[in-house]
Amino acid sequence: MDAKVVSKAGKKLRDASLSDAVFAREVSEGAIYHAIRNELANQRVGTAVTQTRGEVRFSGRKPWRQKGTGRARAGSRRSPVWVGGGTVFGPQMRDYSYRLPRKMKRAAIHSILSQKAANDGLIVVEDFSVESGKTKDMANLVRGLTDARRVVLITKEDDPMLKRAARNIPWLRYLNWNRLRAHDLFYAEKVLVMESAAASLGEQAEGGAK
């Protein structure tokens, strides 16, 4: 597919050919769902825990004799039906993370980028940097390109100054082209992709298809 490349000032510079495998492929909603679900699951801490009746600190003595008291029989103060007793089938510490197949992850990323491109949610911008590393300069630059409330910037290389300028902007996510997150891309109103990053994504997709 063909797309226009804009300068960091928002003016059209030229047209560029983008990989159809990344920016114009058939959208796989299933892959998108599984990729986002996987990312959210991997972020879960899994430290919630409750005490079972075997872990509650109470005496093991029978509260009262079995018969003759007029009360219901009781064998332990640790019983789940007693206040302060153990919990039945409560949460225990666990690891929620799991591994998603690489092909499915890439299919999800490419599907989301194709969605954004089809719905005018993708902007290809020339490679740039923020030499000052200041948040204000970065915010002004991005606002010159879009006024969207949630923006993702995809870069080719890790730029320390650019990353420093972007990290304190709550509505902006800074991502490297080979470490993209489906959740951030899917919920972004605008995706800014640097020209070199778009080329790298295309080369990766074509290389994987061979």
Q: Is residue 135 part of a domain?
A: yes
Distance CA 90, CA 102 (A): 34
What is the average per-residue pLDDT within 123-139? 94
Reading the block at residue 68, the tokens are 């003759």
Reading the block at residue 90, the tokens are 């409560």
Q: Is residue 195 part of a domain?
A: yes
Q: Is residue 34 part of a domain?
A: no
> pTM (2 decimals)?
0.85
Q: For residue 102, which amino acid is it?
A: R
Contact, 82 vs 56, CB < 8 A?
no
Q: Is residue 59 part of a domain?
A: yes
208 confidence band (pLDDT: 50, 70, 90) = low
Last residue of a domain, one of 74, 95, 116: 95
Q: Is residue 38 part of a domain?
A: no
Distance CA 66, CA 73 (A): 6
Q: Do 83 and 134 lie in a common domain?
A: no
Q: Is residue 120 part of a domain?
A: yes
Q: Do 77 and 120 lie in a common domain?
A: no
210 confidence band (pLDDT: 50, 70, 90) = very low
Mean pLDDT of the residues in the chain:
93
**pLDDT for 207:** 75
What is the average per-residue pLDDT within 37-48? 96
Q: Do 6 and 87 lie in a common domain?
A: no
**pLDDT for 1:** 85
Q: Is residue 37 part of a domain?
A: no
Q: What share of the chain is helix, strand, coil (3-state, %, to 5)?
A: 35, 15, 50
The predicted-structure confidence for 86-103, as pLDDT tens digits, reads as follows 999 999 999 999 999 999
Number of domains in the chain: 2
What is the average per-residue pLDDT within 46-73? 94
60 confidence band (pLDDT: 50, 70, 90) = confident
pLDDT surpassing 50 at residue 49 = yes
Which residue range forms the structural domain that includes residue 56?
45-95
Q: Do 205 and 150 lie in a common domain?
A: yes
Question: Which residues does 132 contact at the CB level (< 8 Å), separation at least 6?
Answer: 161, 165
pLDDT surpassing 80 at residue 142 = yes
Q: Is residue 198 part of a domain?
A: yes
Strands of 46-205, DSSP E: 122-125, 151-155, 172-176, 190-194
For residue 194, the 8-state DSSP code is: E
Question: Which residues does 207 contact at the CB level (< 8 Å), separation at least 6?
Answer: none
Last residue of a domain, one of 95, 110, 136: 95
The predicted-structure confidence for 66-84, as pLDDT tens digits, reads as follows 999 999 999 999 999 999 9
DSSP strand pairing (2-6 vs 12-17): antiparallel
Q: Do 152 and 200 lie in a common domain?
A: yes
Q: Do 69 and 120 lie in a common domain?
A: no
Q: Do 122 and 205 lie in a common domain?
A: yes
pLDDT surpassing 60 at residue 201 = yes
